[in-house]
Amino acid sequence: MTKTLAACGLVLALAAGPALAQKSYGPGVTDTTIKLGNTGPYSGPVSAASTVSKSVGAYFDKINAEGGINERKIEFISLDDGYAPPRALEATRRLVESDQVLATVGSVGTPPQFAVRKYMNDRKVPQLFIGSGSSAFVDPQNAPWSIVGSTSYYVEARLLARYFGQTMPDSKVAVLYQNDDFGKDFLRGFKDALPANLKIAAEASYETSDPSVDSQVITLKASGAEIFAVFGTQKFAAQAIRRAREAEWKAKIFVPSVIASIAAVLQPAGIENSKGVITSTIYKDSNDPRLQNDPAVVEYFDWFKKYNTKVDVKDSQAATGGYNDAHMMVAILKQAGDNLTRENIMHLVTSMHDMHLPMLLDGITGNTSPTDYNIFKQMQFQTFNGESWDRVGGVVSE
């Protein structure tokens, strides 16, 4: 378990009237404290994704050092779930029932968080900015207390199918997908938007308990596909890239935005092997030397070097995701003022209008409504040049 305390110090001016001055608190909130929780894969096959949880905590450390939010400390409790659904449910029950958190924020992983979804919604506890793009968490009718912090996997895969249809028409596609909600969401979106000028020549799945995906990659290579779509998590995406290049398969390789980390995926796969890999993003690439004087990137690195010391500086994708999740949470808490109930937090989260976060690409903003939980509906494609990512084309949207 890790704990991050953030002392808070912005007093929100309230309009005149005794009713407006009334304080309303939910569980975990006092005049001096707001308690938030999180679970992440600090151990297990997807431990590389724990950088998201670490980065959320590191941003709250920064808020603490700067005085915090509305004169209240944030106590952030992050627990290891090993990317295992039963452990995630057990850890979340502890956060809600024992630690009495107001909400969870930035918890990682589609299968673990799907296992938690019913529990959180039955108890009306906000499950905020989940480290997943699963469509199960952009479903206000069936899960009104759950929301992701990034573009949904389904939308990303649809945009990818259109992109390949425009840039590599009449190509064959081979697909490797993780056999769970994460991989299947990508596969469904890709197939639903597959243009007539593309053909899926082969597909194969793997389990997170598998030691490697070498055999699947060799089978997929035999299809002769010019495009290799890897709908998998960090460890397996790195294995797939490396094995494809070792087998001299020259297909264009795609990896999902949520795992497109230089440190966690491309370096383990081999930098030479990774040249030309494509992904999509909503964030500025902090490792792009062309952006080193960008004010938002300068601020990001100042935070990273001082507070996020447990994360590799090249793990920009996961770190930036955690950084922005925490940014959104802080913005919501500031806006809430003294009305810190679970109901009001959820109301504010589902009423965003053109929210721009420092590390978002220009032209990308967050918007929600009570009937639309897709915070981000735009993306930018980019390719790896051996050092950083080169953007391709402009921002695209559904």
Which of residues 281, 300, 322 is at a domain's end?
Answer: 281
Show Cβ contacts of residue 215 under 8 Å, excluding neighbours closer than 6 positions. none
Could you tell me if 171 and 106 lie in one domain?
Answer: no
Same domain, 359 and 344: yes
Same domain, 172 and 131: no
What is d(CA 371, CA 7) in angstroms, rounded to the nearest whole number? 34
Note the pLDDT of residue 49: 87
User: Is pLDDT above 90 for 2?
Assistant: no
Rounded CA separation 363/388 (Å): 21
Residue whose C-alpha is closest to residue 252's, from 354, 167, 336: 167
Given a cut of 70, whether residue 12 has pLDDT beyond it is no
Tell me how far the alpha carbon of residue 207 is from its chain's centroid.
Answer: 21
In sequence order, what DSSP letters do the residues of 96-114 get, joined into one string?
IIIS--SEEES-B-HHHHH
Q: Is residue 385 part of a domain?
A: no
User: In this structure, what token pair is assigned to residue 108?
Assistant: 């990682």
Residue 393 in domain: no
SS3 letters for 27-56? Answer: CCECCCEEEEEEEECCCCCCHHHHHHHHHH
Q: Which residues pair with 131 in a beta bridge?
A: 108
Within its chain, how far is the Cα of 336 from the centroid? Answer: 24
Measured distance CA(44)–CA(80) in Å, rounded: 10
Q: Assess if residue 386 is contained within a domain.
A: no
Q: Note whether 175 and 203 are within 8 A (CB).
A: yes
Closest CA to 129 of 294, 330, 304: 330
Q: What is the CATH number of the domain that holds 116?
A: 3.40.50.2300
255 and 337 part of one domain: no
Q: What average pLDDT is seen over the chain? A: 91
Q: Which of 281, 316, 345 is the last residue of a domain?
A: 281
Give pLDDT, residue 19: 41
Would the pLDDT of 98 be above 90? yes
Within this chain, do residues 21 and 136 fall inside the same structural domain, yes or no?
yes
What's the pLDDT tens digit per position in 211-233? 999 999 999 999 999 999 999 99
Query: Are both 122 and 40 inside the same structural domain?
Result: yes
Alpha-carbon gap, residue 385 to 398, rounded angstroms: 27
10 within some domain: yes
Confidence category of residue 11, pLDDT binned at 50, 70, 90: very low
Residue 107 shares a structural domain with residue 214: no
Pair 119, 183 in one domain: no
Query: What confidence tier does 16 reach under pLDDT thresholds 50, 70, 90?
Result: very low
Number of domains in the chain: 2
pLDDT (tens digit per residue) in 353-395:
999 899 999 889 999 999 999 999 889 999 999 998 999 988 9
Domain shared by 170 and 240, yes or no: yes
* Pair 231, 182 in one domain: yes
Of the chain, the end-to-end C-alpha distance in Å amounts to 39
pTM above 0.85, yes or no: no
- Give the pLDDT score at 7: 35
- Range of 131's domain? 2-151+292-377
| pLDDT at residue number 21 | 56
Residues 206 and 136 in one domain: no
